Amino acid sequence: MELKNNELQAEIKAFRNIINMTVEGKGFEYIALTEEQNKLMTKGITKLNKAQLVELYEALQALRNEITKMVDEHAQEEVASCPAVATMLEEAFGIKSEKKAPAPKKRKKTEPKYGTVAKRKALVSDKLSLAESRIKENEYKIFIGKGNQKLQGIRTFSIPPVETCPSATEMCIMKCYALKDYYRNWDNVSKSQHINYIMSQRADFVELMTKNLMIEAMKHDVENMFSEDKKPLTVRIHVSGDFYSQEYFEKWVQIAENLKDYNIQFGCYTKSINYIKNYLKATGKNIRDININFMFSLWADTKEKFINMADEMEMNIFTAYNKKDGMPEGYMACPDDTNRGACGTTCNMCYEKSDNRKNIAIAIH
């Protein structure tokens, strides 16, 4: 994706903020910018053309990578043995320290394309700090997405990945599709997700979201007034993020309940199934009584207790598989993925309420 001039300027500002936070936050004396690097950090950008902006953007990327490498190397340094201690041991106990042959150098592991789990978590934290500093007072309103190429026509509500995913596994974080947006440095993405997260904690979130989706459902019905196919408006809860607390989960249950008489359906992929179990236990309800179709998101490193919990609640299961390993047993391939269509165009299994259990798999992409 080619960035426009104003987007490049925003990315350059973002890089500078992240570099400054790293240098100041780590407090290591050896992290000092050279005179040339200092010029990069203060260079004006308003009068630069596209080529100059790209050059500056790439130079700042390289600088950030260099500083990250320095921090990593510093953390891995071993403290050298002390000659004075060795002499003292020899004099007191006759113990002579033998010189050990240097350990063979370990081959450096190739880092995954989008970094380690720790770096991914740090990146999200950096991005959210940056987003929070850039939010203006009049921007605090719920952001409902209208889907991308893969989610055509589907309304979406997203909050920050990782930070709001209490049950995320290591594989989940490493394969998280939402994190790719963060590595592409789309600060407008992290900003809107952060605003949604703040809004979701407000006391009037249920009321605001109900009104917003009510309007979306009515607009959908008007647009499809003369269509023979009266498909409901589909809402996907969390393209990124997950239910981060019991209270937040129950807010969405109430929102969906408020809209049960409208031509609207809710779908959600989640790992936070402990909140669902707590709710069902407290209310005596069945999972089918909730006006949301939940898909338990499962990875190879998902703990068995959560798999058993999903099975106990008769949840639908959604997993991702490596094409080299082939389709896992007991699952059916996502039709839209197989036919390379937009989600919801070939089937509606992840969103429609049904008494039939569905185990669906999609190739890792």
11-20 tens-digit pLDDT: 777 777 777 7
Top-confidence range, 49-58, 125-134, 242-251, 320-329? 242-251
For residue 184, what pLDDT is reported?
Answer: 58
Q: Which residue has the higher pLDDT, 126 or 258?
A: 258
For residue 81, what pLDDT is reported?
Answer: 46
Residue 225 has pLDDT above 50, yes or no: yes
End-to-end CA distance of the chain: 17
The least confident of 105-114, 194-203, 255-264, 352-361 is 105-114
Residue 349, H or E segment: none
Yes or no: say if 50 and 11 are a contact pair by the CB < 8 Å rule.
no
The proportion of the chain whose per-residue pLDDT surpasses 90, expressed as a percent, equals 34
Is residue 59 packed enough to be buried (19+ CB in 10 Å), middle (13-18) or exposed (0-12)? middle
Q: How many residues are listed for the chain in this entry?
A: 365
Residue 207 has pLDDT above 90, yes or no: yes
Predicted confidence (pLDDT) per residue in 80-103, tens digit: 445 555 565 465 555 555 555 556
Mean pLDDT, the chain, rounded, equals: 80
Confidence of residue 118 (pLDDT cuts 50, 70, 90): confident
Q: Which residue has the higher pLDDT, 27 or 171?
A: 171
The proportion of the chain whose per-residue pLDDT surpasses 70, expressed as a percent, equals 76
Confidence of residue 332 (pLDDT cuts 50, 70, 90): confident
Residue 108 has pLDDT above 60, yes or no: no
Nearest 5°: CA angle at 343, between 144 and 189? Answer: 35
Predicted confidence (pLDDT) per residue in 161-204, tens digit: 999 999 999 989 888 888 876 555 667 788 899 999 999 999 99
Overall average pLDDT of the 98-120 stretch: 64
For residue 245, what pLDDT is reported?
Answer: 97
Overall average pLDDT of the 303-319 stretch: 91
Predicted confidence (pLDDT) per residue in 120-141, tens digit: 888 888 888 877 887 888 888 9
What is the phi/psi pair of residue 113, to 5°?
-50, -40
* Residues 6+ away with beta carbon under 8 Å from 321: 327, 328, 331, 361, 362, 363, 364
Q: What is the pTM of this model?
A: 0.67
Predicted confidence (pLDDT) per residue in 142-167, tens digit: 999 886 545 557 899 999 999 999 99
Residue 79 has pLDDT above 60, yes or no: no
* Residues 6+ away with beta carbon under 8 Å from 291: 253, 256, 257, 259, 260, 266, 353
* Residues 6+ away with beta carbon under 8 Å from 221: 233, 263
Residue 32 has pLDDT above 80, yes or no: no
Yes or no: say if 250 and 279 are a contact pair by the CB < 8 Å rule.
yes
For residue 25, what pLDDT is reported?
Answer: 56
Residue 341 has pLDDT above 70, yes or no: no
